[in-house]
Amino acid sequence: MKIEVLTLFPNMFSAVMSESMMWKARDRGLLDFSACDIRDHSGDKHRKVDDSPYGGGGGMILKADVLLRAIDALEPAADTPVILMSPQGRTLTHAVALALSRRVRLILVCGHYEGVDERVRDLAITDEISIGDYVLTGGELAAMVLIDAVVRLIPGVLGAEGAEQRDSYADGLLEGPHYTRPPEVRGLTAPEVLTSGHHAEVEHWRRRQSLRRTWQRRPDLLEKADLSADDREYLAGLAAGEAD
Ligand code: 4FN
């Protein structure tokens, strides 16, 4: 997969894109990443990329001509997604990341200031994605979140441990509690079932912990989850106020 980011702050991507998973993906030839500086397309001796909004009011707007030149320079194919990272976009979810991970090329555009001139949307943006409802200073951190979520799903990026993780998250539930050595920490012991050596009992306990935690903290996730008859029976028990 080729990912090209258009940004005013290309250096923000250096640390994230050289960390272990990204490095492996790039080293294995599965990811070709570049951060392109929008300012290189200003066409202005002062390298100006923003201007005040028509109609007045505060703040600055990223200029359409500059951003459109930056996008054109990448020569997107007719079917290349040109994605604006934006609070107005559809929310990034695992399903969105999975769909994007099957593409061969993504162009991500990061906004700054009060936003981008609307004509960039009209002429060049094919998709808008948001990572959530809070105010950010720019689209860069959002782009990095999207890249992290997408790249780990590219086949071959994660090794055997990746397949396991994918399977455990694929059911759409939260994880239950995890424990590792030592068996006792400041008087708190790990649940006995985990050290019992009974694999089937461990799996059953984990499933129920996962269901319980999802029911407690994110009941909305249960609506889309893949649930067995046994899962539903356990959840009905929780809803009826049964202890376990
Ligand atoms: N943000 C909100 C309402 C109005 C504006 C913002 C906001 C960066 C260029 C966009 C924010 C959040 C998630 C990109 C937020 C995202 C951005 C994102 C983002 C500078 C203009 C701006 C109602 C959501 C709080 C600034 C709500 N995912 N404007 O943050 O780019 O991708």
Q: Tell me the pLDDT tens digit for each residue of 47-101.
A: 999 999 999 999 999 999 999 999 999 999 999 999 999 999 999 999 999 999 9
Distance 134 CA to ligand 1 centre (A): 7
Is residue 201 predicted with pLDDT exceeding 90? yes
Atom of ligand 1 nearest to the CA of 131: 28
Confidence of residue 244 (pLDDT cuts 50, 70, 90): confident
Eight-class DSSP state of 116 = B
* CATH architecture of the domain with range 2-151: 3-Layer(aba) Sandwich (3.40)
How are strands ordered across the β-sheet holding 32-37? Answer: 32-37, 2-7, 105-110, 82-91, 127-130
Which H or E run includes 192? none
Binding site membership of 7 for ligand 1 (Cβ less than 6 Å) = no
Candidates 127, 42, 50, 27; CA nearest to 83 is 127
Distance 115 CA to ligand 1 centre (A): 8
Residue with the smallest CA separation from ligand 1 atom 29 is 135
CATH of 168-239, one of 3.40.50.300, 1.10.1270.20, 1.10.3730.10, 1.10.3720.10: 1.10.1270.20
Catalytic residue among 26, 121, 152, 213: 152
State mean pLDDT over 137-159.
97
Binding site membership of 112 for ligand 1 (Cβ less than 6 Å) = yes
Distance 132 CA to ligand 1 centre (A): 8
Rounded to an integer, what is the distance from CA 134 to the centroid of its chain?
15
For the chain, which residues make up each domain, given as ranges?
2-151, 168-239
9-55: pLDDT as tens digits? 999 999 999 999 999 999 999 999 999 999 999 999 999 999 999 99
**In contact, 6 and 70? CB cutoff 8 Å:** yes
Binding site membership of 132 for ligand 1 (Cβ less than 6 Å) = yes
Distance, CA of 30 to CA of 22 (rounded, Å): 10
Rounded to an integer, what is the distance from CA 168 to the centroid of its chain?
17
pLDDT recorded at residue 32: 98
Catalytic residue among 53, 76, 81, 87: 87
- Name every residue whose Cβ is closer than 8 Å to that of residue 21 and which is 6 or more positions away in sequence: 148, 151, 152, 157, 158
Binding site membership of 135 for ligand 1 (Cβ less than 6 Å) = yes
Beta bridge partners of 188: 185
Please provide the distance, in angstroms rounded to a whole number, between the alpha carbons at the two ends of the chain.
46
Candidates 131, 37, 45, 46; CA nearest to 83 is 131
Q: What angle do CA 55, 59, 61 make, to 5 degrees?
A: 75
Is residue 165 predicted with pLDDT exceeding 80? no
Provide the 3-class DSSP secondary structure of residue 89. Answer: strand
Which H or E run includes 130? strand 127-130
